[in-house]
Amino acid sequence: MESINKQKVRSTWYKHGYSNSKYYHFVIRWRKLRNKGKDVEIDNQWCEEPKAVCREVKRVFEQRFKATPDHGVRLGLVDFMTLPEVASLKMVEDFSEEEVRAVVWMCEGSKSSGPDGYNFNFIKSNWEILKEDILEAVYMFQESGSFSKGCNASFIALIPKMKNHVLVEHFRPISLVGALYKIITKVLSCRIKEVMHLVIDDVQSAFLEDRGMLDSVMMANEVIEEVRRNQKSGVCLKVDFSAGHVTKDGVS
């Protein structure tokens, strides 16, 4: 019960402290109330009926993630950068035990578990017992390119994106996946991370190691200052996409 409470409280600095305190249980209750999403507004009416809320959630996210032929991406004329042969061969090397173990120890041990019920604290504590089975599953994936049935099952939870959440659109879905799924995807992402800079253009200034989003802000400021200094005319356009979400200021 104590370990479950530590997961719920989510105070990293308090994780290893004394858990039976007023503050500790207050944070758990506060997080529970903040993430509550049992009732939402549907067609301008407040709805608390669970089945109706579930139907609305299903409808909204099916519509959001549905693929449509009208908006297909056409990349036939794009000249993509390619990986050097050495980097390409490294991407398909056999996974090693050291590589898998390093990934397991990268993962936060107390995160919420998926359908398998195990978190990474359990795996780390019992690594010598579990490693053979984990490595066998990883090697099987590398050979077949597919997961065993049930490995990619997940719990889907809705997390509020803002304080006053009244619409389904105000929530974002997260998937609580099993540990084995996380291990395999983490191994792949670590390999891809090493070569991303070789195929991503230099003008991409965010979401890559050693590149910061603020670089784009600085470049934009320099461009605007250059226009002002030379007394030129220009237009600045800021675009923010949010899956058709309509705000009081218009469609963003």
The residue with greater pLDDT, 242 or 201, is 201
What residue spans define the domains of the chain?
Answer: 1-34, 36-67+79-199, 202-232
Contact 224, 235 (CB under 8 A): no
Record the tokens describing residue 155, joined without a space: 């719990």
Four-residue CA torsion sign, 205, 207, 211, 215: positive
26-55: pLDDT as tens digits: 777 776 666 665 677 888 888 878 888 888
Q: Which contiguous run of DSSP H or E holds residue 172?
A: strand 171-177
Does the structure show a pLDDT above 90 at 126? yes
For residue 37, which of 242, 174, 178, 176 has the smallest C-alpha distance? 174
Contact 151, 180 (CB under 8 A): yes
Radius of gyration of the chain (CA): 23
Mean pLDDT, rounded, for 207-232:
85
For residue 48, which of 58, 56, 38 has the smallest C-alpha distance? 38
Q: What is the pTM of this model?
A: 0.66
